[in-house]
Structure 1
Amino acid sequence: MISVIRHLKRRSLSRRPFPQEWLGHLDARVPFFRTMSPTLREPFLDKLKVFAWEKEFIGAGGLTITDEIRVVVSATAVQLVVHLDLSYYDALREVIVYPSAFKLPDRTGAVLGEAKHWGSVILSWQAVLTGLHNPDDGHDTAAHEFAHVLDRADGAFDGTPKLRQYSHYQTWASVMGEHFQKLQAGQRRERQVLDDYGSLNEAEFFAVATESFFEKPVQMREKTPELYEELKRFYGWDPASGT
């Protein structure tokens, strides 16, 4: 019943016209939108408006949620599922945004982002903008945290999201496991492409690999081609070729 209600709500939201003023925020803040092919823009904008209206955005640390924040953060989330489906975000209820780095009761020190198992993503607005402003440095806090949400869509933060076909799981486990172990061992090719934080566990490896897939695709395709191909098959993107 919940899935039927959600489907009807999304269909209703998708029928609403896209606010034209939102395009200005995308043009100003989201570099990948400016280079997106015309054929992808329509499904991207359709999913963006549904995500932006469906999820609850909450300002924290004195931040007030504006249309700019709602649209730009939604764009970072929807980039990951343009070729997938919004159902990957079914368990995500709210996006909490701080103005800058923040502290959490269960973490030591300040953090830039966090995905919680109960359906929340917490982000630093400053980190979101920094990740977008430097689109090829391999660091994108929002993409990292929303990758965790995709990972969690099948029930666990384990580095394996819900794949397109059952037959894909064996190759995924083999390729991801191999490169995770190589990163843990400090091998040069992996370290040229992936941040060391990805060696912490399989979930962080998937999130870090997602950042690099979208931000350093040419390097990933050259240095770790099997990893690139596996992520390309899942996400449906070929960012190294600009598609």
Structure 2
Amino acid sequence: MESYPRVIVGTDGSPDATAAVSLGARVASSLGVPLTILVAYDGDSGRDREWAEGIATAAATLAKGGGATDVTSNPAAGEPDDVLLGAAEENPEALLIVGSSGLTKATGRLFGSTSNKLAHHSLADVLYARDPLPHAWNFVGLATDGSDTSVKAVRRGLILARALKAKPRLITAAKNEEAGAETLAEVAAKIGELPDGVELQREVIPNSDADSALTGKAWKWELLVIGNRGMSGPARLLGSVANKVTHGAESNLLLVNTSRG
């Protein structure tokens, strides 16, 4: 099974961002990959280099306490969205983890929060963490509509399910159980053989309105995984399923960039 070669976490010391550090440490430790912690500073509102160094040091300590062994923490001059988008551009195969603050708020979407900008422009997959993190990671919901892009998202979601030792559950919204079961069977066949001991559960949500189905059931999964198709261009303006779920689901969320291999 494929894996992420590196985990990158952006933090400013806020509760959701601190949750991102803890989650990043867990994923990096489980996958056995390096963890990079980035803290952006610009000198405004007291957020100077000294502030960033303090946040970075505290985050690195938290990450090491969470099991990560190869940890680098870097203060970086610049706006947070520019710093993190730059890191994603340099490391498109990495997993980028940030707090979800601003993602589901209308003001964040209107004025452009960092989490919102990453959702629409990051070349790397973005995992949005929420404070508090779950006490136990039971299920990872792998959303699919049967398309090839959603299959890519499912495959990467399986990486996180393995890292979190959670049960992967393939989910789809359909007009009825029969149609949904057919879609899930086709996707399972495309995924192929899974590692020993991994069982891909299946769930059909009988609702042809995929975005409301997923946002309404997001509480069932500790982590929801979707592809980013429709997160940019006209589809974004018209309200794609991915866009609505990203900004509406009240859960930890992995947004997979399906435009790369």
- Asked if TM exceeds 0.5, the reply is no
TM-score, scaled to structure 1: 0.29
Structure ranking higher on relative contact order (CA contacts 8 Å, 6+ apart):
2
TM-score, scaled to structure 2: 0.28
